[in-house]
Structure 1
Amino acid sequence: MIEGPRIRLNGWQQAAVALGSAVGALLDPRRVDLIAALGETTGKPAFERVLERMEKSPEGRAVLLERPRVISEKVGHAWDLPANTFGAAYTRFMGSRNFSPDDRPPVRFMDSEELAYVAMRAREVHDFWHTLFGLPTNLIGESALKVIEFEQMLLPMCLLSVVGGTARFNGKQRATFYQHYFPWALRAGKQCTDLMCVYYEQHFHEDLEEVRQRWGIIPAPAPALAVSPNAARVV
């Protein structure tokens, strides 16, 4: 069962929560609870499509059957894996930022237990995608990953996040994003495998570059290469 009470909303209530969450998230992008609420109240059709795809995929079906969670109790063993592995790369990403896999907000606005799990899974694999694509957690990196997430899941929240994120760029950051990261993210999101149908935890022990190649992952442009002579350095 997905932790946290779920709240059933009628159409007007969903619209009100979605609108309030959108406005609040634009005013304060650090409010992950509002971003999560926006994703849930606007994303049901997208999550239903993801669920259908997962049911048709062998790994996706295994994920739905076993319902793995990306929480410290379940992924702690990755900290003991060799440095070249996907699992070790994930732990370096988390450790270097002092992130915890336990910090994700619970799902509250999904009608069914299955859809609630799909929404939670999409939320919890976000850091796996950061690791695989080599994206930083600054505004440019998060906006680029939201482009990939939109390509993969067609969640309206991802598109709104890109709009909100890029609105905070200065002119040089905006030029860097649209000249280098945005076209890369469009290509990367289309070329890679269906990322919601991957049972990531079963591949922790595998070589990072091998899983990238198998899943069609194109790593992000190196910041030094992505910055044009007239653009600010990406940090």
Structure 2
Amino acid sequence: MIEAARIRLNGWQRVAVALGSAAGALLDPRRADLIAALGETTGRPAFAKVLERMERSPEGRAVLKERPRVLSTEVGHAWDLPSNTFGAAYARFMGSRNFSPDDRPPVRFMETEELAYVAMRAREVHDFWHTLFGLPTNLIGESALKVIEFEQMLLPMCMMSVVGGTARFSEKQRRLFYQHYFPWALKAGLQCTDLMCVYYERHFHEDLEDVRRKWGIIPAPLPPRSDGV
């Protein structure tokens, strides 16, 4: 499926798609397809570095070899796990928002099958990271997670998303983000393990707090009561 979705671009075409996607995503941040295209057309060097790190990690190599997909047919068993487990927490996160694992846009603009899989994996583990860090899916939560994603993968799209997202904040939201969430995200993204080298599906049955400790995850702090999220 990843192979069939790929479109090969020359240099000028890549620039054109990147600029068009950036402009469209700024106008409508809900366009996941445009954000995905921006990430692919600007992120090849970063994805190549992630691939190298995964190849050096035993668990990362297992991910690359087996190429698990975060699809409803593959992760549906998480809904049946005990409530204290990482898998059950992920299921609650998805179910409470009526999200489906199948809603991610396909990878279209990566040159090789290996890079296409890394790009897809980064896209599909996004909700695992929301679960682990305890971040909401509102504008502040998504912007905070993009800070962590940038530190983990150095994708230009993540930093552009933070800039574009914070530009839409109200003054109250901006103050809350930069005083409360941004410093936490900087620390959390640097302290945790290399999250792209984790085979999450093998840890669904483990206690959520145990995997957080194992991977050095600092959950997001609660917002000040006077500000809300």
Q: TM range, normalised to the smaller chain? A: over 0.9
Indicate conservation of the 8 Å contact 2:44/2:110, yes or no: yes
2:26 aligns with 26
1:68 aligns with 68
Does the alignment pair 1:233 with 2:199?
A: no
1:210 aligns with 210
2:14 aligns with 14
SS of the residue 2:5 aligns to = coil
Indicate conservation of the 8 Å contact 1:3/1:106, yes or no: no
Counterparts of 2:13 and 2:106, CA distance in 1: 19
1:151 aligns with 151
Instruction: Structure 1: state its 5+ residue gaps.
Output: none
2:180 aligns with 180
2:53 aligns with 53
2:191 aligns with 191
- Offset of 1:139 from its aligned partner? 0.2
1:130-181 CA deviation, whole Å, 9 max, x = no partner? 0000000000000000000000000000000000100110001000000010
1:81 aligns with 81
Does the alignment pair 1:137 with 2:132?
A: no
Counterparts of 2:66 and 2:7, CA distance in 1: 24
Instruction: Structure 2: state its 5+ residue gaps.
Output: none
Indicate conservation of the 8 Å contact 1:60/1:198, yes or no: yes
- Offset of 1:14 from its aligned partner? 0.3
TM-score of the superposed pair, with normalisation by structure 1: 0.96
Letter in 2 for 1:29: P
- Offset of 1:5 from its aligned partner? 2.1
2:162 aligns with 162
Letter in 1 for 2:83: A
Provide closer, same or farther for how the CA distance between residues 3 and 222 of structure 1 changes in structure 2, counting only shifts above 3 A.
farther
Letter in 2 for 1:38: L
Letter in 2 for 1:11: G
Counterparts of 2:21 and 2:120, CA distance in 1: 18
Aligned residues: 229
Identity %: 84
Letter in 2 for 1:177: F
TM-score of the superposed pair, with normalisation by structure 2: 0.98
Counterparts of 1:121 and 1:151, CA distance in 2: 17
